């Protein structure tokens, strides 16, 4: 098979690394990719939302399958674009239709979907400028802290958690007046849930599904989960509190009703479902849906899959996933993200990365890198995800930290406490 992966981060490098080992693979392309994916396939300089260029590239290179990394092309309808064009409808897309992608593209859609299918989640109310008074009344009826979410995609910045009621009302007004552009013309106000979070990944062919290893990511820049939010500073899998009893509840109360609900509503969904869950005293509730794999969770979840990933994807597109087996490595996997000086605020770029060839027993997945004149340079805030396995989480972390000490770029930073809360 000829496969095209869309995206350029650590998630896409991990997918490329896994797909490279598939017995079904012929040629691998990554658009746009990074310095790491360039070693596994051919990077192609096409924007992930430039569907007409993706079409001509796919026809020219006889692409059989497109694996979509990030959410934006899905929310913009890449699945539908290929499905509805007779020249390219034979190309399989791993990812949901535009309608299915609303689970991530619209918080209001996701909350109503959960209500229709009795899936446990925080109480909520959606408001626009027209009924801001109802929004303020709803805030008055809740207790602090207050959760405000932009309805649409806001690059992970659209959620505000606020202690003070007056400030919450002020922020509600600012959001509705365009604080996050069109994304916050509608705002979901939510009940605050207290608990510990985890990420559950499901691969579905629209009727059956497989649950992948559970992961936990670390979003804050500082140790002890302090400071500004980032795209993710590290991840671990498995997650101790997501034990058999908890996962049984996740399966029966969340995964099954989600897959069945999509089917019942005739929503075309062949791809990953990412459940952002919170454990509220042993009871799982959905904080959010995403319609893709997580990053940096992919850098631990994908290496733990022992089965051939393309075979599973073939199961997804041919609706035979139930006949495929999913084998999981029983070790612990961790990934620690090395980031640029300054990140997540304005950060430095184009620093030379050295020492990558000295790494032993870890996989270094590139997140923000580029190759210039044979040198690997930093090209993003999150630069490298250093993934290791171990019999315990601690052992895996030690291997990652040992290797991080051998990798150098000016002003690099990483958290030394990944997994601390488990």
DSSP string, 35-95: TTGGGTSEE----TT-HHHHHHHHHHTT--EEEE-SSHHHHTTHHHHHHT-TTTTTSEEES
Among 115-123, 180-188, 293-301, 350-358, the segment contacting ligand GLY (CB under 6 A): 293-301
CA-wise closest residue to 283 among 215, 195, 218: 195
What is the smallest separation between the CB atom of 300 and ligand GLY, expressed in angstroms?
A: 11
- Looking at beta carbons only, is 31 or 287 nearer to ligand AMP? 287
Interaction of residue 341 with ligand AMP, rule CB under 6 A: no
Nearest CA to 24 out of 313, 301, 299 is that of 313
Task: Give the span between the Cα atoms of 75 and 100, in whole angstroms.
Answer: 8
232 binds, among ligand AMP, ligand GLY, none (CB under 5 to 8 A by kind): ligand GLY
H-helix or E-strand containing 402? helix 393-404
Interface mask (CB under 6 A) for ligand GLY, residues 163-202, using x and -?
----------------------------------------
Residue 380 found at the interface with ligand GLY (CB under 6 A): no
- Least CB distance from residue 232 to ligand AMP, whole Å? 11
Alpha carbons within 13 A on the beta-carbon side of 294: 32
Cα distance between residue 76 and residue 101, in whole Å: 9
Q: Taking CB under 6 A as the rule, does residue 154 contact ligand AMP?
A: no
Instruction: Count interface residues toward ligand AMP (CB under 6 A).
Output: 12
Q: How far apart, in Å, are the Cα atoms of 38 and each of 108, 380, 391?
A: 39, 16, 31
Cβ at position 149, least distance to ligand AMP in Å: 6
Among 65, 122, 334, 339, binds ligand AMP (CB under 6 A): 122
> Of the candidates 144, 134, 377, 121, which has an alpha carbon nearest to the alpha carbon of residue 250?
121
Q: Is 95 in the site for ligand GLY (CB under 6 A)?
A: no
**CB distance 268 to 97 below 8 Å:** yes
Give the helix/strand (H/E) hosting 17: helix 10-20
71 binds ligand AMP, rule: CB under 6 A: no
104 binds, among ligand GLY, ligand AMP, none (CB under 5 to 8 A by kind): none
Of residues 109, 192, 401, 413, which one binds ligand AMP by CB under 6 A? 192
Residue with Cβ nearer ligand GLY (138 or 218): 218
Residues forming beta bridges with residue 6, ordered by sequence position: 31, 68
Consecutive H or E run containing 290: strand 283-290
Q: Pick the stretch among 180-188, 265-273, 291-299, 399-407 that binds ligand GLY (CB under 6 A).
A: 291-299
**Which structure tokens are listed for 299?**
């850098």
Binding to ligand GLY in span 211-250, by CB under 6 A: 217, 232
On whether the CB atoms of residues 205 and 158 are closer than 8 A, the answer is no
Site for ligand AMP contains 288 (CB under 6 A): yes
Of the residues 294, 344, 380, 381, which one makes contact with ligand GLY according to CB under 6 A: 294
| Footprint on this chain of ligand AMP (rule: CB under 6 A) | 122, 147, 149, 159, 190-193, 197, 276, 287-288
Which residues make up the interface to ligand GLY (CB under 6 A)? Answer: 217, 232, 290, 294-295, 297
């Amino acid at each position: 098979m000829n496969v095209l992966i869309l995206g350029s981060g650590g998630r896409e490098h991990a997918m490329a690394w896994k797909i490279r080992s598939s017995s079904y693979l012929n040629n691998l392309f990554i658009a746009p990719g990074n310095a790491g994916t360039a070693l596994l396939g051919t990077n192609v300089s096409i924007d992930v939302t430039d569907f007409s260029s993706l079409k001509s590239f796919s026809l020219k290179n006889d692409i059989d399958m497109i694996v979509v990394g990030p959410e934006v092309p899905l929310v913009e309808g890449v699945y539908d674009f290929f499905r509805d064009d007779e020249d390219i409808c034979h190309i399989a897309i791993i990812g949901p239709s535009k309608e299915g992608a609303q689970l991530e593209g619209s918080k209001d859609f996701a909350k109503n979907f959960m209500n229709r299918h009795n899936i446990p989640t925080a109480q909520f109310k959606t408001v626009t400028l027209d009924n801001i008074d109802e929004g303020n009344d709803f805030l008055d009826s809740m207790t602090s802290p207050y959760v405000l979410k932009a309805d649409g995609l806001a690059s992970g910045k659209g959620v505000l958690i606020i202690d003070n009621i007056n400030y919450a009302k002020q922020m509600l007004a600012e959001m509705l007046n365009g604080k996050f552009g069109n994304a916050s013309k509608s705002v979901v106000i939510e009940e605050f849930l207290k608990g510990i979070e985890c990420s559950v990944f499901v691969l579905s062919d629209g009727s059956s599904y497989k649950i992948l290893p559970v992961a936990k990511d670390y979003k804050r820049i500082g140790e002890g989960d302090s400071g500004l939010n980032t795209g993710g500073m590290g991840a671990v899998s498995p997650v101790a509190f997501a034990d058999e009893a908890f996962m049984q509840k996740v399966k029966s109360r969340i995964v099954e009703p989600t897959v069945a609900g999509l089917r019942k509503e005739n929503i075309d969904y062949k791809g990953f479902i990412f459940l952002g869950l919170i454990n509220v005293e042993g009871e799982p509730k959905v904080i959010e849906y995403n319609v893709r794999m997580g990053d940096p969770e992919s850098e631990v979840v994908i290496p733990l899959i022992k089965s051939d990933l393309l075979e599973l994807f073939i199961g997804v597109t041919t609706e035979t996933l139930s006949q495929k087996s999913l084998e999981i490595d029983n070790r612990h996997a961790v990934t620690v993200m090395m980031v640029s000086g300054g990140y997540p605020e304005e950060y430095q770029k184009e620093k030379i990365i050295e020492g990558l060839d000295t790494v032993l027993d870890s996989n270094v997945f590139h997140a923000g890198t580029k190759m210039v004149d044979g040198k690997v340079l930093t090209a993003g805030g999150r630069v490298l995800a250093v993934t290791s396995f171990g019999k315990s989480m601690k052992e895996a972390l030690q291997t990652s930290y040992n290797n991080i000490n051998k990798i150098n770029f000016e002003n690099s930073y990483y958290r030394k406490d990944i997994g601390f809360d488990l």
